[in-house]
Amino acid sequence: MLKTLVRVVRPYLVGVKHLFMTPVTVKYPYEKIVNVTGENFRYDPKAGIAYPGFKGRHVLYLNKCTGCSLCDIACQNISEAITMVYGFNVTLEFDKGLYEAFRRGDREAVEFFEAVVESLSPAKPGGITLSAGHPIVPVNWSDIRAVKQKDENTYEWRLNMEPLYEYRSEAVLEKYLIHFLHWLRENGWEDKIVTVEGADKEDEFHEITKGSYKARLSITKIAENYPQNKKSYFPAVDYGRCVFCGFCVDACPFYALEMSPEYELSAYDRASLVYNPKMLAGPPITKPPSELGWFERLHMILKELTEIR
């Protein structure tokens, strides 16, 4: 009889005991994980020592990175998350005759500009995964209002609003301009790759002609002007593949790469997980979520004060 009573009462006592215990769970995202160290994970190649720190989002110091690719090589046997990239601009130049024909509404000229706009539509590349496994990052393209007169006979249209980060100019063509090049061929335009004196070896130029109409498509590398990195060649990280092992940080001989405590990297699409060099160079975001109410903030402060780290 007594044994049965103990069996009945014991679970209730256990339940009551838990009411007075400090919870081990955190109300993420309203509460942050308290045992995350605020230090960056970093490696000192001279001393051969790795300093303890949280392995979250990378921090790239553009003024130290030499573009040596050792981080990329280190990652190749892990997850191929790093791609060494250049920044590119895409510009379309065309002669006065083509632009005036477009403004007059001549069918051929209008169709040419319509093909450019349609080819660059953000809906085209977004979210597609190439065989290399990295998604195509959607780009903000400028519209026809960005056309400027370059000289008396030439007009210029800078197509991209932000730099395009790719490992070579052909990748820019393949990912973003392939529909336009197909359209040119299907509609009787001639497209010829030409060399331009003094251009960078990564640049690519296409001479586009039909009858008296002339245009030039230029994919040109952006010079970042860092003296230690004359090629302007930097790593980009695809967080859809990164396993946060830190091998790339260990491999960097120039103190240019660290990993920060920023761990909130989730996104609604794969393309948003690709961080270009400028994004990696930005300061990590560690502030609490804006939706945190006063009660949760107070609770967090009290918890931080009482918690033994």
Task: Point out which residues bind ligand SF4 (CB under 6 A).
Answer: 65-71, 74-75, 78-79, 81-82, 235, 237, 242-248, 251-252, 254, 256-257
By 3-state DSSP, what share of the chain in percent is helix, strand and coil, each rounded to 5? 30, 25, 45
CB 89 within 8 A of CB 150: no
| Structural tokens at position 309 | 């780290």
- For the bound state, the minimum distance from the C-beta of residue 37 to ligand SF4, rounded and expressed in Å, comes to 17
Please identify, using beta-carbon distances, which residue of 167 and 254 lies nearer to ligand SF4: 254
Q: Which amino acid is at 260?
A: S
- For the bound state, the minimum distance from the C-beta of residue 48 to ligand SF4, rounded and expressed in Å, comes to 16
Strand ranges (E), 133-283: 148-151, 154-158, 164-166, 190-194, 204-210, 213-221, 234-238, 257-259, 274-275
Distance of alpha carbon 287 from alpha carbon 279, whole angstroms: 17
| Structural tokens at position 90 | 């895409």
- For the bound state, the minimum distance from the C-beta of residue 83 to ligand SF4, rounded and expressed in Å, comes to 10
- For the bound state, the minimum distance from the C-beta of residue 81 to ligand SF4, rounded and expressed in Å, comes to 4
Please identify, using beta-carbon distances, which residue of 59 and 181 lies nearer to ligand SF4: 59
- For the bound state, the minimum distance from the C-beta of residue 78 to ligand SF4, rounded and expressed in Å, comes to 4
- For the bound state, the minimum distance from the C-beta of residue 71 to ligand SF4, rounded and expressed in Å, comes to 3
CA distances to 8, 11, 218 from 5, rounded to whole Å, are 5, 11, 85
Please identify, using beta-carbon distances, which residue of 58 and 216 lies nearer to ligand SF4: 58
Distance of alpha carbon 152 from alpha carbon 19, whole angstroms: 81
